[in-house]
Chain A
Amino acid sequence: MTLTILKLEIRRVVRDRVRLFFTAIMPAFFYVIFGAAQSYGSIKVAHGNVAMMIMVAMAAYGAVAATASLGAATAIERATGWGRQLGLTPLGDGQYVAIKSALAVVVAIIPITIVSVIGASTDVEATPKAWVLSISILIGGSVLFALYGLVLGQLVRGEAALGAVSGSLVVLSFLGNLFFPLSGGWLTFARFTPLYGYATLARYPVSDGWVVSSDGDPVHEALWMPLTNVAVWLVILAVAATLLVRRSRARQ
């Protein structure tokens, strides 16, 4: 039964050509600028090179942007009355959040694949194990940001939700060490933000936890840190999303 709904939801995503285009192209564009065109890309790290690290970061950004905007769009569509319509069916709130999360994972595969293909055909180098693990983590972990978009979308009502989601993601991406290496107090703070956990975990198979910091000294992260970060955010966001979806049954 949920497969039918997932199939129809995927069909809706495919129909929105403009959004699909940006979802697919933006992170690829970022990778080409930040990664493929830079000379330091060929520097070796534990199980690959710096180009691979940048590629994973850009794929993470692409996946997060796609899933979070999908979450925000879900919140908007519920507010327009579809939430009331669904409230008249046996579909549970948790089930609904699960379907939308599954949809987000499917959508996240698009930018991740495109960035990976461009990376593999340029200077990215990594062991097969690092490739498989990093991409699996990128795909699976993107669920977190579908929930993030859903929660933010319900808190910030209406069309402003999309702006709040994309704006906050830029901030979280910097804190997630995606665009620019952090150090010191900023790095300490960043460790508690959701994109840091996700991106660090996705890069772990490549770097074994070594992170470049902006003052030049490499920093090592223990595996439990990004794992705890992702687990805690997953619980917080999943519970908040389900509770807020329940609330959106009422008239607004």
Chain B
Amino acid sequence: MTPAIELLQVSRRFRGSTAPIVAVDHIDLRIEPGEVVALLGPNGAGKTTTLDMVLGLSAPTSGSINVFGMAPRAAVAAGRVAAVLQTGGLLPDLTVAETVEFIAATYSNPEPVTRVLELANLTAISGRRVSKCSGGEQQRLRFALALLPRPDLLILDEPTAGMDVNARRDFWAQMHAEAREGRTVVFATHYLEEADDFADRTVLMSGGRIVADGPTEEIRAKATGRWVSAELADPARAIDRFGGQLVAQRLVVRAADSDLVALALLTEFGATNLEVVSGSLEDAFVALTEGAAK
């Protein structure tokens, strides 16, 4: 089957003031039709740059990208792919319905405007100027625009940024409905719980690279592990068994099951001054990135 998205050795560099900035660094990624994938990573990981290239908004410096076997721009023109962008602008002087009408006019066979307004729960405010809409309402409008071509692939770049808890919950409920209809959904987020609640598969990005890719369960276990650190007489032997590294004479190990590691260190390796701390998601990114660099 033709993959929904296929990236081969894709890089994207930007001109920097001194040296070129590598936003995306030789990534390979294949997403099959029907998958729901989270692109998880901290700010500056290269998520938006990657999605921009998949949408044909910018071109890769090197490497190749196919969307349903087509060039990205061709897939967009054919209405196979649509997106809700983090920084997608709207015209403040148009009303909600006019905005939908405007974008609908660019497609040859769009979903009817009234139907899209209904799906995005905008019917009640269809006559309102965009400038008078709240952040959540504007985000629903962007979502409505993405539904117009009846896309097979829906790309969402931090779709819930700026939404309150209720709006966020409603949004994801709608996304579940979209996914049930067999759409491929790829979304970027820096909330681990969003990936956890919604994605079957999580691709973890950091520093322009994919540092982990697998079922969300697995990624979460890695990302939510704890740090165990201790002083040891013979740290080399412990490193052989648990991995980790020496920081200021202390062994530092990240473990999914910290109790087990702590117990072994204390009983088998004679560790002293042992500490267990839970790492933040940022720590996990750092750890995984260092792992990938080795």
Contact = CB atoms under 8 A, between A and B. Distances in A.
B56 A87 contact: yes
A91 B89 contact: no
A83 B89 contact: yes
B177 to A, nearest CB: 21
Interface in B57-108: 57-58, 76-79, 82-83, 85, 87-91, 93-94, 98, 101-108
Most B CB contacts (10 A, CB to CB) among A81, A83, A85 go to A85
Nearest to A95: B106
Contacts of A83: 89
A184 interface: no
B196 interface: no
Interface in A72-98: 77, 80-91
Interface size range of chain A in the complex: 20 to 34
A250 B82 CA distance: 16
Interface of A is mostly: helix
B55 interface: yes
Interface stretch (A5-13, A122-130, A199-207, A211-219): A5-13
Interface in B22-74: 48, 52, 55-58
Given A8-B101, A84-B89, A90 B55 contact: no
A16 B38 CA distance: 42
A113 to B, nearest CB: 24
Interface string A86-120: 11111100000000000000000000000000000
B37 to A, nearest CB: 19
A83 B146 CA distance: 15
Contacts of A90: 76-79, 106-108
Given A16-B93, A85-B90, A4 B56 contact: no
A250 B57 contact: yes
Contact of B106 (A1, A12, A249): A1
Contact of A12 (B55, B56, B93, B145): B93
B229 to A, nearest CB: 40
A80 B91 CA distance: 9
B90 A84 contact: no
A250 B58 contact: yes
Contacts of B107: 89-90
A82 B82 CA distance: 15
B82 A251 contact: no
A251 B86 CA distance: 11
Contacts of B145: 85, 88
Contact of B85 (A2, A4, A16, A84): A84
Given A87-B55, A251-B48, A82 B106 contact: no
Contact of B76 (A2, A88, A251): A88
Contacts of A11: 94, 98
A20 to B, nearest CB: 13
Contacts of B104: 4
B98 A89 contact: no
Contact of A91 (B58, B83, B106): B106
Nearest to A86: B106
Contact of A15 (B57, B93, B102): B93
A86 B107 CA distance: 11
Contacts of B102: 4-5, 8
Nearest to A5: B105
Interface string A1-38: 11011001001100110000000000000000000000
A71 to B, nearest CB: 16
Contacts of A1: 105-106, 108
Given A88-B76, A88-B88, 12 more contacts: A4-B101, A4-B102, A5-B102, A5-B106, A12-B93, A82-B90, A84-B89, A85-B88, A85-B103, A88-B146, A90-B107, A251-B57
Interface of A: 1-2, 4-5, 8, 11-12, 15-16, 77, 80-91, 249-251
Report, nearest first, the 4 A-B pairs whose CB atoms are least far apart. Answer: A81-B89, A89-B106, A4-B105, A91-B106
8 contacts: A1-B105, A1-B106, A5-B106, A8-B102, A12-B93, A88-B76, A90-B107, A249-B57
